[in-house]
């Protein structure tokens, strides 16, 4: 959607929009192989029509997409400046499944033509993770290249317009605007690197860091936490205290709402796509919490229910027994019965007369794990249904940061308003290290670039909110990525559903485990540092076969049978 915004903004700036009569869109590589499952066409077309990722009504997107295909009309531009053109979706939206543009596997080529069919302008744009877009440079026919600003998140392409560091939790400062080293080493990137260098020089942030070691050195030299250092860099870009905090809490609101939307979805509803995957977050949430969001239909407040039952029990005669113990035992028994589904019946398979005994059906409750699981699943089901999420660091891994932060705010923190900014700023600092030193794109590095990076971000951020110093935060982040190295990206049917949704739940659990390991270790004594792990991640990504990098051509995507070939867009 952002790429569509950028392309149209460049057309308007070049005074070419009024000449456009037709557009041809080609998507390549991983972007094509997972396009329909990732909802790429609808997002791109709505972006060309001026829809904004942060404000668009998410229910409007599929409706408008269907209308475009039916009417064969597309309104390019915004409400203030637009041009309606003919658009035949099967003809004008081209899937280049077997081809890849040289810069990045998530590539798209947009070309516009006049009424005579002559080319007006063309541009290659690339989605490299974190909501960031690399602009290959619009070529205007016949005058030659016009646009040279190759890297930005904002729609306008002004060189001196800074991007708020916490946008989608991916920091764009001198410490990371070179994007990933993997991208910068791609053929034809010398001009891109030179352009990035000039942008770096134009930025006036007080604390320049390029890896974890330099980040820790700056924290020690200036007696700052990682979150404080990131905050000062934000201010160095000209943002006020209110602007920074408002943006941070706006991000948290979107995260919290994505959890809320996921758990309040209709029970047993089906996610869109060929897998017909059933939502699990609503039922899991009801069984687990009885409603942290009290307005949820059909779910009461666990706290009020507990208070009523305890009050009833305490009013009963004690018969000389410990009343509080009696209350706890009866309450646990009642809550256990309420969690049991009405259709539940014990069923044991096997011979009761066999020397190896049967075990009754049971489950173990781990409160932290259960809450993290339902929060992460809720966010990723919201994403799979086309809802709004925060790209942190990618949409496919968007459930880990919110799940860990939600658990921290609800069950651990004594001051969420203090901890939310600390968490997000620390996570953003860690994200910038991966963005510069490796990659955040599954098309480049497999799922370790998504879930692995998100796990690392969440582990370090959680440790920061537990009072850890910079070295312990670094250790937590290192543990988080070290045990995700080599994780492949193999979405079944090209859909961000299986195994992506469960993988986020496991990533959230692993993040807190990583933080706890670091918090219970001696800071600075680990043998593997975060910079080492990031280098290892980069080498692993370079050696990984292409079919394991978000192409749906191997792994689970190939071994699990589905109704249509994975290389054909989901209908």
H, E, C per residue of 290-301: CCCCCCCCCCCC
Structure tokens at 496: 């961000």
Please, are residues 465 and 438 in contact by the beta-carbon 8 Å criterion?
Answer: no
**83, containing H or E segment:** strand 82-86
What is the DSSP secondary structure assignment for residue 564, as one 8-state letter?
S
**145, containing H or E segment:** strand 144-145
Query: Can you give the pLDDT at residue 137?
Result: 79
Structure tokens at 536: 């290892």
Query: Can you give the pLDDT at residue 200?
Result: 46
Task: Give me the helix-helix angle, 241-263 and 400-407, nearest 10°.
Answer: 100
Using alpha carbons only, what angle is made at residue 66 by residues 60 and 70, rounded to the nearest 5 degrees? Answer: 140
Distance CA 76, CA 65 (A): 13
Query: Which phi and psi (to 5°) does residue 487 adopt?
Result: -65, 120
Query: Can you give the pLDDT at residue 327?
Result: 52
Please, are residues 478 and 470 in contact by the beta-carbon 8 Å criterion?
Answer: no
Contacts of 275 (CB under 8 A, 6+ apart): 492, 493, 495, 497, 498, 562
Query: Can you give the pLDDT at residue 28?
Result: 95
Distance CA 338, CA 288 (A): 10
Would you write out the chain's pLDDT as a tens digit for each of its 571 residues? 999 999 999 999 999 999 999 999 999 999 999 888 889 999 999 999 999 999 999 999 999 999 999 999 999 997 778 889 999 999 999 999 889 898 899 999 999 999 999 999 999 999 988 888 988 878 886 654 444 433 344 444 444 333 333 333 333 332 333 333 333 333 333 333 344 444 444 458 999 999 999 999 999 999 999 999 999 999 999 999 999 999 999 999 999 999 999 999 999 899 999 899 999 999 999 888 665 555 544 333 333 444 444 444 445 555 555 555 555 565 555 545 544 444 555 567 788 888 998 887 777 777 778 999 999 999 999 999 999 999 999 999 999 999 999 999 999 999 999 999 999 999 999 999 999 999 999 999 999 999 999 999 999 999 999 999 999 999 999 999 999 999 999 999 999 999 999 999 999 999 999 999 999 999 878 899 999 999 999 999 999 999 999 999 999 999 998 754 444 444 3
State the pTM of this model.
0.78
Please, are residues 6 and 131 in contact by the beta-carbon 8 Å criterion?
Answer: no
Query: Can you give the pLDDT at residue 149?
Result: 39
Structure tokens at 235: 């201010």
Contacts of 84 (CB under 8 A, 6+ apart): 73, 74, 75, 76
Whether the ω angle into residue 499 lies within 30 degrees of 0, i.e. cis, is yes
Query: Can you give the pLDDT at residue 103?
Result: 85
Contacts of 39 (CB under 8 A, 6+ apart): 61, 386
Contacts of 351 (CB under 8 A, 6+ apart): none
């Amino acid at each position: 959607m952002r790429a569509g915004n950028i392309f149209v903004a460049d057309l308007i700036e070049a005074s070419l929009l009024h000449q456009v009569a037709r557009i041809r869109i080609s998507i390549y590589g991983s972007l094509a192989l997972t396009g329909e499952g990732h909802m790429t066409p609808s997002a791109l077309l709505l972006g060309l029509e001026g829809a904004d990722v942060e404000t668009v009504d998410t229910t409007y997107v599929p409706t408008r997409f269907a209308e475009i295909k039916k009417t064969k009309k597309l309104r390019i531009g915004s409400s203030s400046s637009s041009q309606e053109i003919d658009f035949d979706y099967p003809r004008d939206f081209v899937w280049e499944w077997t081809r890849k543009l040289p810069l990045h596997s998530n590539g798209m080529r947009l070309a516009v033509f006049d009424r005579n069919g002559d080319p007006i302008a063309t541009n290659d744009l690339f989605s490299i993770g974190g909501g960031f877009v690399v602009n290959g440079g619009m070529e205007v026919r016949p005058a030659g290249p016009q646009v040279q600003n190759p890297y930005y998140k904002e729609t306008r392409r002004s060189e001196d317009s800074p991007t708020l560091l916490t946008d989608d939790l991916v920091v764009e400062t001198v410490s990371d605007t070179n994007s990933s080293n993997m991208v910068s080493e791609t053929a034809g990137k010398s001009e891109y690197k030179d352009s990035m260098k000039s942008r770096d020089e134009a930025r006036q942030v007080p604390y320049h860091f390029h890896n974890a070691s330099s980040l820790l050195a700056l924290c020690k030299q200036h007696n700052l936490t990682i979150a404080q250092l990131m905050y000062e860099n934000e201010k160095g870009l000209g943002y006020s205290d209110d602007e920074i905090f408002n943006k941070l809490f706006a991000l948290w609101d979107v995260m919290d709402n994505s959890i809320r939307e996921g758990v309040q979805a209709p029970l047993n509803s089906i996610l869109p796509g060929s897998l017909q995957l059933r939502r699990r977050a609503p039922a899991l949430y009801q069984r687990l919490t009885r409603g942290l969001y009290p307005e949820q239909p059909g779910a009461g407040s666990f706290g009020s229910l507990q208070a009523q039952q305890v009050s009833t029990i305490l009013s009963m005669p004690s018969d000389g027994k410990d009343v509080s113990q009696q209350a706890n035992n009866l309450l646990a028994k009642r809550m256990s019965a309420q969690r049991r589904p009405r259709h539940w019946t014990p069923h044991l398979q096997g011979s009761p007369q066999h020397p190896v005994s049967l075990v009754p059906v049971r489950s173990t409750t781990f409160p932290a794990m259960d809450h993290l699981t339902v929060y992460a699943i809720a966010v990723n089901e919201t994403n799979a249904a086309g809802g709004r999420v925060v790209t942190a660091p990618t949409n496919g891994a968007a459930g880990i940061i919110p799940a860990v932060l939600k658990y921290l705010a609800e069950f651990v923190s004594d001051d969420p308003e203090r901890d939310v900014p600390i968490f997000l700023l620390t996570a953003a600092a860690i994200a910038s290290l991966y963005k510069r030193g490796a990659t955040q794109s599954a098309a480049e590095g497999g799922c370790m670039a998504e879930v692995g990076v998100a796990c690392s971000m969440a582990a370090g951020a959680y440790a920061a909110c537990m009072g850890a110093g910079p070295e312990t935060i670094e250790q937590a982040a290192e543990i988080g990525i070290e045990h995700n190295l080599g994780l492949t990206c193999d979405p079944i049917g090209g859909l961000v559903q299986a195994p992506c949704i469960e993988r986020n739940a496991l990533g959230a659990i692993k993040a807190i485990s990583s933080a706890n390991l670091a918090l219970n270790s001696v800071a600075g004594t680990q043998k593997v540092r975060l910079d080492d792990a990031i280098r290892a991640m980069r080498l692993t990504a370079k050696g990984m076969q292409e079919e394991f990098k978000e192409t749906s051509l191997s792994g689970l995507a190939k071994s699990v049978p589905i109704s249509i070939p994975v290389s054909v867009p989901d209908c």
